Amino acid sequence: MALTDEQLAELHDELLNDPKELGYDGSDDPTCAELLNTRGLSNEEGPAEPVDVDLLNREVVVSEFVALGLAERQFWQLMVTAGNGVIDPSDSKIVAQLLAIWRPTTTTRANLVALGTRDYSRAEILFGRGKSVTYMDVGRARTGDY
Q: Model confidence over 92-117: pLDDT tens digits?
A: 999 999 999 999 999 999 999 998 88
**How much is the average pLDDT of 115-126?**
94
How many beta carbons lie within 10 A of that of residue 29, not counting itself?
Answer: 20
pTM above 0.75, yes or no: no
pLDDT digits (tens, 9 = 90+) for 9-54: 999 999 999 999 999 999 999 999 999 999 999 999 988 889 899 9
If asked whether residues 61 and 98 sit together in one domain, one would say yes
Task: Please tell me the predicted confidence (pLDDT) of residue 1.
Answer: 65
What's the pLDDT at 136? 96
Residues 39, 24 share a domain: yes
Backbone phi, psi, residue 117, to 5°: -130, 160
Domain that holds residue 106: 49-115
Let me know: does 97 contact 83? Beta carbons within 8 Å.
Answer: no
| Per-residue pLDDT reduced to its tens digit, 69-93 | 999 999 999 988 887 888 988 899 9
d(CA 52, CA 85) in angstroms, rounded, equals: 6
Same domain? 61 vs 87: yes
CA–CA distance, 54 with 73 (Å, rounded to integer): 16
Specify whether 99 is located in the same domain as 55.
yes
Q: Cβ atoms within 10 A of the Cβ of 82, count? A: 11
* pLDDT at 84 (0 to 100): 83
Structural domain count of the chain: 2
Alpha helices (H) along the chain: 5-17, 29-37, 53-58, 62-67, 70-81, 92-101, 107-115, 122-127, 135-143
**Pair (69, 103) in one structural domain:** yes
Same domain for 90 and 59, yes or no, is yes
